[in-house]
A and B are shown apart, each in its own frame.
Chain A
Amino acid sequence: MRTILLTCLTALGLLLSVSVMAQTKTVTGTVTDADTKETLPGVNVVVKGTTIGVMTDAKGAYSIKASEGQVLQFSSIGYITQEITVGSGNLIDVALATNVQTLNEVVVTAEFGMKRVERSIGSSVQTIKTTEIAESGRDNFVAALQGRVAGMNVGSSSGAPGASTTVILRSITSISGNNQPLYVVDGIPMNNSTFDPLSLADGGTNFSVRNLDFSSRGNDINPADIESMTVLKGAAAAALYGSDASNGAIIITTKKGTAGAGKISYDNSFRWDNAYGYPDIQDKYANGAYGYTNWYYTTRYGGLYPEGTKFYDNVGALLQTGFTSRHALSVEGGAGKTSLRASASWLDGTGIIKTTKYSKLNITLSGRSEIKKWLSVEGSMQYAAVENNKAPLGTDGPLYLAMRWPQVDNMADYMDADGMHMRYPNYYIDTDLLNPLYGLYKNKLYDKSDRVITALSANFTPVRNTFLRVQMGWDVGMQSYIQGKHPYYSAANAGTGVYESTKRNFSDPTINVIAGYSNEFFNKKLSFSAQFGYHQQENSVNQLSSYGTGFMVVDMMSINNCTSTTVSSSQKNTKRRIQALSGQIELGYNKMAYLTLRGRNDWSSTLMPDNRVYFYPAVEGSFILTEMPFMDAVPQITYMKLRGSIAQVGKDAPPLSIYPQLIVTGLTGGGYRYDFTGPNLKLKPEMNTSKEVGVEGRLFHDRVNFDFTYFWTHCADQIINGFRLSYGTGFVLNNMNLGDFKTWGYEAHIDGDIISKPNGLKWNLGINISHTGSDVTYLPPNVTEYYNAYTWNTGNIRNGIMMHHPVTSLTGQAYTRNDAGQILIDPTTGLPKVNSTWSVLGNREPKVRFGIQTNASYKGLRLSAMFAGRLGATVVNGTKRSMMQSGLSWESVKLREKGPVVFNGVLKDGLENTTNPTENNISVSYNNYGASIYTGYDEDWIEKDVNYLRLQELRLSYAIPEKMLLKTPLATTTLFVAGNDLLTWTNYSGIDAVGNTVSAAAGGTGGEGMDVWSLPNPRGFSLGLSVTFK
């Protein structure tokens, strides 16, 4: 089926390579760079004074019909345009010289697919080369961004295929809501939701963001379809894209094909993933407590294992070598001013945990055409089908369950002798242990999505210097989430089975209409442009969930197999609509100084009429220092821009946040009652203000690029959803505007060609560094802490937010201390005491995040590497705590064998705050206590100053010299081998220093830095090739 599809697409592409109109003669040639002698693809070759034009191909070659005496114009961004009159010959080779002046005119794709001159932009913008994404070896283009953009943090909830990803640009702007940037594809906002397991029909009885993670919809897109990607950091982006871009925006432009000779390309990759870095389990002491072996216990505080005990690698029994293959085919072509591109890509992979799978099919059709001189249209349609089988996470995950399984028993043998029931381990008397392998093979955790993103835009030029752009787009997805629990996957095989299925469809239509005018005045000294837009956007969700239990056929996963009286279903439909007007005026003076004023006014459906209209302005300015005459004295600085911006952005509430909801009671007689959340008719939009200043430039003839930004953000009137207050409100939860906080920090980027030889040897090294600080400046006096309860996964540690502390704080129950800070010891037990209230224990945000990219190329060979790292992070080692509690770790053996211990501290005997507190001298023997003493206290599991460096990517590619391909149908061929996440250097003692205890659906500050049985990224090796056909 897939093959047929691809063939059809190929045929379609070929049909469209319509031959060019007849002319007097054909002129051919190659365009090269005058300095490097490399061929230049994508150079515009136009017959001056006509509409005839072509582009050079990948090898810099062109072919154009022209008659003698006509003038050919060769132009490309960053080069001096050359004009050559056609003579009698048919061959014209051109060498284009680079031009600093024109290089300055680099444009970035910004607002709604329109382009802006880089020098006029007053906020931080970073463009990512799509080749880097393609070369990252990641199936998920979002994950591939980690380390590549200064100030961008990409967090993943696990190393499993299809894991959700959380992207934060600069810093969070919302305590409980969405903090991810807006993805805009061809001017149309793309849905990047992550399904929250609480939306399953059981309402979170079995799963929540802490133990189940579904893929983020942003990952659906095919990286090979992306032509360019621009990251707009900070709130400045929101002035035009609206509140959804208050955390920045990632602007994606898809490939629309190039006219000219048709091009067919194919590439593939094959990747093998291996798990690594799992902790050792001690094999000295058996199950039990107080030194006595007792198989009734899962804790390993029993006696010594008898000599010659056979041990099994039960964690190993879960693992497999993951294998992922990817094939992508694309065709493009067109004639004159019309081009078309079609592509198909197929990815199929298995994860390192048995039974986990991920597959993705993308089919894309796109194109553009200049229909009239005053009208051009472009459009794209992307279809993505994703399927994912997954394993639960955290303490419901296979890793934790395998660790608990007695290692004297072979967990791999998970089936009972009858071939149906879950087998219980030998020795172990209780029947409450769940065999994760049985769970993996018999339970169902599955999701599937079919999704289409369409975008269509038309550009009119009614009169000179004006334009009207109309864009329409529709992002539609049909998703299905299934959770099924086998009846025998239960203590004593005694469950009755659970099946729940949620169908969730979303539909996000968008309309943008933008009209603008631009011109230059006073001898081109003053440039002026203005544009106004109308925007309309809808996000609707339509969900139906069913739930049933009491399986009749035990092995059958279907709602139809559930006992009819247990089957229930519920639906949820929500809609959010935004209308907005936007405006922008840009003034430029002599290509040296620019001032841009922007504003947007939103009307949101989610707030009451009094509060739903909100305006937010932005102002940005830039100054090109190198335009000043005195800078000529410093020729090393080729280009330098100073910039700054102040922007505000309002943010509305999620749908249905205003009125309380009535729900059917689960009590005799039914009827209605209010749900947990109370009304708030006064809810108003959040208002974030962000300021930034920066400098960027190029040095030493553009060999070095640098960029530095410092930013401040103030987030006010935070809308906190599901916030608890006194039940005196009449409700349990509330949606309220509570709390302000500020963030600040810097982002820096520098890269340079360390070696750039005329013989083609090139070595480039680039570094991104960023730092973010934050501080909560206001919480109401009765609110001591806000936290997400799903992050409360180890001890009493959670992601608490408290006054005058960073928003990324960890809170927990600290040791009680005297005024001098010494730990207080209970004089009766000799054990430390902890506070019963929560206080801040650390800050999860590292002091510095950085990424290092480097690549070296020589002729066809290219070696690239990418490192990502953090310095000075605080990480909760929940895994270690759990292993200590259950006596699984060698550290627990050490503690146990240590003999009596005197805890460091002073006795709480009334003298603790005098000048002479009583030093603790009470010795405590671990052996006299059960597991609780090994579990320690919250502070024991907070690891501070964690440094971390990971070799994310290492890749070697080789482009076969074209000479060798002459007799083949291949135009270019590149082969590569690569490795992902090969090595990690860290002083962290747990599994995953970048572990995240909740899925992206948790929102807010999430659970990054909380490592509780995290599944780290596996080590991947891949190889593949990419070819284009003649």
Chain B
Amino acid sequence: MIDRAILKINPNAKFSVNADDINQITWLEGTTPISTSDINAQLGAVELDMALEDLRRKRNKLLAETDYLALSDVTMSSDMETYRQSLRDLTNGLDTVEKVNAVTFPTKP
């Protein structure tokens, strides 16, 4: 998480982090050090980014499983259309980690 928080502040930062410990950061290649308070301030946003990333990955796999039903020579049922749309809408309004963790995936028809 520390590494992501640093890159959120400075995407070009060069550094090493040991034990994911904010007190064990080594700044490299002339990178200007970032204060621990600035890094700490990003941790909440990083945690949400990671949770959403994981959710999207699982969602995308489920969508991929039914992609073949969207081929032009296949007629998709309305149930399947609803299911796929629900998957696409899954991340709407998710602005906290708690909300992301509470998501339940729609049932495949």
Query: Does B associate with A?
Result: no
Interface, chain B (partner A; CB < 8 A): none
A residues sitting closer than 8 Å to B (CB atoms) are: none
